[in-house]
Chains A and B, each alone.
Chain A
């Protein structure tokens, strides 16, 4: 995922925010067509939300691959 600096998103007044926002990462979202994963059992496509990787353990991703 491409990272951008948070500061680059602001036209002005970035300094009004607490300075620790500097550490926030800006993620570029994936396009929707990349979020459909085929499930082997019935060969159907399942849609996964953008934050799928945050909320699901890597283990379940493996389960889908098998």
Chain B
């Protein structure tokens, strides 16, 4: 097989994994609370900004305590911050919007996106921040030198992390009590309430987990391009992934990401030059659309049953 084609496929799969990381956050929240969280991209940005700030000599921690945090401590502190953010979101926004239509909840997350964006700007500044937490970057030298195959190390790390994350989430959802409660809430709010599951606690937990996933995605994308406002725009890249995979399925997010990633790259590299290039964006959506025509709920989504 043509080596370059293999490279394109692998790069496509890797890019897909990066998209899938972002899509995971969406899926988690949609599964448990039925909300399409438009602010997921901004959450990724906010998490990455906070992480950079805690590690930087000019950040808040350094200003207050006089020293910057080492990487692992900074990550831990950022996780705590994301949990706090999740709690605040539940308290101030979600609690008051119980039982409203999905499109209204969607709009509320947009308001949330604006608030988080402005807060991120004020607290951490709008400059681009090169994020380096020690993830290897650049081409995989051995493969490139010996075999002429180009694979990006950062994306391999992202793929491994994504696999780990999905495994942890799968165990979490299947084996633990909280996981079962989450699945119960995703199934039917009323029934879950009647069995004694506190909706509010579940929502805080889900948004926190989603925040942690956002942190991981933010780290990967932030290392790739520096932490700046454009990071929040990757949410748009994750949309076709969600459509393809289904809004409610974790494996769907991964599989959808892989398909979109590889489809996009192959189309751009091989068909792009005939169209003048830059067809990636709409091709992803067209691909998702084609899948939708055959399976309107996405590959792994729940079948939509309509009753008269």
A and B interact:
no
**Chain B residues in contact with chain A, CB under 8 A?**
none
